[in-house]
Amino acid sequence: MPTSLPTSSRRRRPDLPTGLLAAALVCSAIGSLSGCVAVIAGAGVGGGLMLTDRRTTGTQLEDQGIELKSGGRIRDVIGDRGHINVTSYNRIVLVTGEVPSDADKDAVGKAVGAIENVNSVVNELEVAGNSSLTSRTSDATITTRVKAAFVDKKDMQANAIKVVTERGNVYLMGRVSEREADRAAEVARDVGGVLKVVRVFEILSEDQLKALTNR
């Protein structure tokens, strides 16, 4: 289960190895913005970053496939209701955004979980109206700030951590040691605008991390 780290005040650089951000809008032909299911997926594999990714090349491609397939599966079960983001890292899938009901939230989680190669789903959908354009713009700004903060810290490997922001909540994904997870959460929660930090990490031992680094 993800753990939340509130701030004291309660207050893609390309996106990791998947490179550029692609937005697939799954909407009816005449649907309004509020009537769209927006599935945000990582697309494009950057050669240099791919080499430093802690996933295998095959897993990176599987994660992209999971993200791309999710749009159709979600549309099949809830139509054009909601605003939904799907992010896959090492076959762990984070689902964020807003849907109108608990039934829709459960349906989306089950649909994504049934996609080939998915190991687990972290369903963080909020039962609420769709977020505003202003809120989404703010989230994008927070994501950029968190990534920049990671790059500025010389004791962190910034491209090992994927950052997703939804309604001011920052989700951190990646294959990291407990030490790295604690450090990343510490840095992220000090970024302006962050309401809480949710860790969706796959935790590695220091020996496993060393083996990955050597590889």
Which CATH number covers residue 165? 3.30.1340.30
Domain finish residue from 66, 101, 127: 127
Looking at the structure, tell me whether residues 7 and 97 fall in a common domain.
Answer: yes
Q: Is the pLDDT of residue 41 over 50?
A: no
Whether the predicted model's global pTM rises above the 0.75 cut: yes
Domain holding 39, by residue range, is 3-127
Are β-strands 120-123 and 37-42 bridged in parallel, bridged antiparallel, or unpaired? unpaired
Query: Would you state the pLDDT for residue 51?
Result: 55
Looking at the structure, tell me whether residues 7 and 108 fall in a common domain.
Answer: yes
Stretch 111-132: mean pLDDT = 98
Looking at the structure, tell me whether residues 74 and 155 fall in a common domain.
Answer: no
Looking at the structure, tell me whether residues 38 and 116 fall in a common domain.
Answer: yes
Q: Is the pLDDT of residue 118 over 70?
A: yes
pLDDT band at 15 (very low <50, low <70, confident <90, very high): very low
- Which residue's structure tokens are 């950029």? 144
Q: Is the pLDDT of residue 156 over 60?
A: yes
Domain finish residue from 127, 156, 172: 127
Looking at the structure, tell me whether residues 81 and 117 fall in a common domain.
Answer: yes
pLDDT band at 215 (very low <50, low <70, confident <90, very high): confident
Domain finish residue from 78, 110, 127: 127
Looking at the structure, tell me whether residues 144 and 209 fall in a common domain.
Answer: yes
What percentage of the chain reaches a pLDDT higher than 90? 73
pLDDT band at 191 (very low <50, low <70, confident <90, very high): very high
Q: Which residues contact 140 (CB under 8 A, 6 or more apart)?
A: 165
Q: Is the pLDDT of residue 159 over 70?
A: yes
Looking at the structure, tell me whether residues 32 and 106 fall in a common domain.
Answer: yes
Looking at the structure, tell me whether residues 9 and 90 fall in a common domain.
Answer: yes
Q: How many domains does the chain have?
A: 2
Stretch 54-79: mean pLDDT = 97
Looking at the structure, tell me whether residues 100 and 143 fall in a common domain.
Answer: no
**DSSP track, the chain:** --EEEE-TT-----BGGGBSEEEEEE--TT--GGG-EEEEEE----HHHHHH-SS-HHHHHHHHHHHHHHHHHHHHHHTT-SEEEEEEETTEEEEEEEESSHHHHHHHHHHHHTSTT--EEEE--EESSPPPHHHHHHHHHHHHHHHHHHHH-TTS-GGG-EEEEETTEEEEEEEEEHHHHHHHHHHHHTSTT--EEEEEEEEE-HHHHHHHHH-
Q: Is the pLDDT of residue 86 over 70?
A: yes
Average pLDDT over all residues of the chain = 83
Looking at the structure, tell me whether residues 60 and 13 fall in a common domain.
Answer: yes
CA–CA separation, 87 and 17 (whole Å): 13
Looking at the structure, tell me whether residues 122 and 36 fall in a common domain.
Answer: yes
Looking at the structure, tell me whether residues 121 and 162 fall in a common domain.
Answer: no
Query: Would you state the pLDDT for residue 214?
Result: 81
